[in-house]
């Protein structure tokens, strides 16, 4: 998989960030949620998945479509 940087709300252009992949998917870079209560709220979280928290102001970087 290859990533194409779409944007970040960091002045240094680092975490958190949004990427488009060459597989027609979106990848996000953020903090992994470890709070047990929050993870308990997750629906059908598979053993190979994580919940990642990003600020709402990154939403404009997500492509429309």
Whether the per-residue pLDDT at 65 is higher than 80: the answer is no
Residue 64 pLDDT > 90: no
Residue 4: pLDDT band with limits 50, 70, 90: very high
Question: Which residues, in sequence order, are CB contacts of 22 under 8 Å at separation 6+?
Answer: 1, 2, 4
Contacts (Cβ under 8 Å, ≥6 apart) of 45: 39, 51
**Residue 44, number of CB atoms within 10 A of its CB:** 5
Confidence label for 33 from pLDDT (cuts 50, 70 and 90): very high
Residue 15's pLDDT band (cuts 50, 70, 90) = confident
Instruction: Say whether pTM exceeds 0.95.
Output: no
Whether residue 63 is preceded by a cis peptide bond, meaning omega within 30 degrees of 0, is no
Residue pair 53/41 in contact by the 8 Å Cβ criterion:
no
In the three-class reduction of DSSP (H, G, I as helix; E, B as strand; rest coil), residue 39 is classed as helix
């Amino acid at each position: 998989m290859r990533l194409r940087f779409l944007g970040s709300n960091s002045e240094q252009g680092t975490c958190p960030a949004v990427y488009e992949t060459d597989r027609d998917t979106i990848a996000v870079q953020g903090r992994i949620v470890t709070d047990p209560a929050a993870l308990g709220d997750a629906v059908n979280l598979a053993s190979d998945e994580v919940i990642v928290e990003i600020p709402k102001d990154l939403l404009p970087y997500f492509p429309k479509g």
